[in-house]
Amino acid sequence: MTSPSMPSLEDPRLVAIGLGLLAHLVFKTTEPRQPRVWLLLLIGAPTALTISVNYAFSSVTTTVLSVFTIYFATLLTSLALYRLSPFHPLAQYPGPILHKLSNFQMVRVALTGKRHLYITELHKKYGSHVRIGPNVLSVVHVDAIAATLGTKPGMPKGEMYHSLQLPNTPTSLVGTLDMAEHAEKRKSWSQGFTPAALKEYDPIIQRRTNQLVRKLEQQVGTIDLGKWISYFTFDFMGDIVFGGGFEMIREGDTRNLWPVIIMAMKAGSITFAVPWVRGLASLLPMADDFKRMLSFAAERVDIRQRRGPISKDLFYHITDEDSVTGRNITPPEIPPEIMVAIIAGADTTSSVLANLFYSLLRNPDVHAKLKKEIDGAFGPDEDTLDVAKLQNMVYLNACINEALRLFPAVPTFISRSPKVGGGPVLVAGRVVPEGTNILLPFWALQRDARYFSMPDKFWPERWIERTFYNEKTDGSNTTFVHNQAAFCAFSQGSQQCSGKALAYREMRVVVTMILKKFDIAFEEGYNPQDWEAGLRDDTVIVKDKLPVTLTVRARRA
């Protein structure tokens, strides 16, 4: 019997192993993003080897199976061993093994819509720094805010923001990673949120809020308050961005835009975990929702350009129609910017308002206290509210801040990355290698007992009081913790939300007008626990129905 010979260097199996190791080296050092490079590495290399060695096996089928099996087994094994080895740059950080192996584990979590809860539990188990991907570190620590989001030093956005747009489309403000380029784009946006610009928006807020209140007066029985708030925010942003054009309060969502926005955000939530698939995103069904949003934005841009400015709307500032900033924005760049403005201004504000009304209904004492403050500040027939007075209403602002703390509109999406070539950085007392994607889950941070007493309780007084007594029968006091440095609902630093002041302005008027006009209660038989159970983390918080009954309040003397 002839013993089998040892494989030589010409053995195709050894070549397949070598190619697999080489592919791992390419992925590790260059992290290619182009689909053609992926096709070359994953399909082209083993195919070329198969063609060149088809004489080595008994059949073509055996050759293909053998080469591809050995190639991918080598590549995957090499990746797994390296990612779990002590030689990996993030080896010192704890986290679930499956997350260390692949970002696809977080895709699975994203599909559930409960990423905000899942990441919170991971931090409770593993601590402030948790490795949630091969090159992704989630950090929940107040000191991480200055290190990542601060103006000095601060960091560029992480590559995960590539997931916010389709390939071969201009980069929007939110998707811009380069800090200098972002700062240049932001100049024109900032012009739309100066104190002077905000004053021009006040009549629009009043008009749209009055329209919403009149429409709610016409409703009979149970309504979905969240839906009507969404209609309001969309109409309002249409006015702010284009000088008008949306009439959802009057006509409803006749173009079915809200479901498209929600699906586009869900798609972004999934690709956020695996940004390298962006190159293939246009081939996936989810891309249709992005395309519909871009098409809608382009349509509105065309109408606005043909009509010209009738006021200094946000379009006027973003496109620098008055040549203040000197920004040379090209026509293809405008629709992505406008789409960001619509989604950021409408979807996020509507979710915060809906969560605030839910929280008020869950806490009747808070609800009553806020109504008392509103009644003391404004008469029953006041349709135009004093913005300055609203800004100084202590309890109203405490309620809004508390809703933002408990239910941040962007719960887990903020990401930064130490610049490649800049060396490792210190983040909350731990060394983080350059190029690492650092996730800052605000949902977990703002519910952390280290920074907020009774972190899961809706308690507006925390923004006013400085001490409190716990509910122990002996009446002993306990340390009050309220670290506002951990409050990041609008992000922080040079890249924080441009529309923060406008959002507060808008929310104050809406909450005040609705509570001044109506008594509100949950629909009879509704289980309030269903509300939080129905919240989804799909890039932004996506809300479920908020079934309530409204009763016009009796006229006050």
**Biggest alpha carbon distance in the chain?**
110
What is the SS3 assignment for 157? strand
Backbone φ and ψ of 294, nearest 5°: -65, -40
Q: What is the C-alpha to C-alpha distance for residues 171 and 175, in angstroms, rounded to an integer?
A: 6
pLDDT at 397: 96
With CA atoms as reference, report the closest residue to 185 among 321, 343, 317. 317
Residues of the chain with pLDDT under 70: 1-10, 29-35, 53-58, 152-153, 162-168, 276-287, 325-326, 465-478, 556-557
Q: Are 176 and 182 in contact (CB under 8 A)?
A: yes
Three-state helix/strand/coil letters over 30-45:
HCCCCHHHHHHHHHHH
β-strands 136-139, 437-439 pairing:
parallel
Q: What is the pLDDT of residues 65-123, one digit of tens each?
A: 888 888 889 989 999 999 999 999 999 999 999 999 999 899 999 999 999 999 999 99
Summarised one tens digit per residue, pLDDT across range 455-492 is 999 999 999 965 454 444 345 556 789 999 999 998 88
Q: Which residues are documented as binding site for heme? A: 497
pLDDT of 122 reads 98
pLDDT at res. 47: 82
pLDDT > 90: percent of the chain: 47
Q: What is residue 492's predicted lDDT score, i.e. its pLDDT? A: 84
Q: Could you tell me where the beta strands, DSSP code E, fall in 158-249?
A: 222-224
Strand partners, 437: 136
User: Taking a C-beta distance cutoff of 8 angstroms, is the pair 455, 445 a contact?
Assistant: no
Which two tokens mark 61?
């089928």
Closest listed residue to residue 100, CA positions, set 133, 144, 61, 51:
133
Strand partners, 416: 157, 438
Whats the size of the chain, residue-wise?
557
Structure tokens at 212: 């919403």
Q: How does pLDDT run across 512-534, given as a tens digit for each residue? A: 999 999 999 999 999 999 999 99
Contacts of 318 (CB under 8 A, 6+ apart): 188, 189, 192, 329, 334, 337, 338, 341
- Residue ranges of the annotated binding site are 497
Amino acid 469: pLDDT: 44
Rounded to two decimals, the pTM is: 0.89
Q: Give the residue carrying structure tokens 């519909």.
A: 292
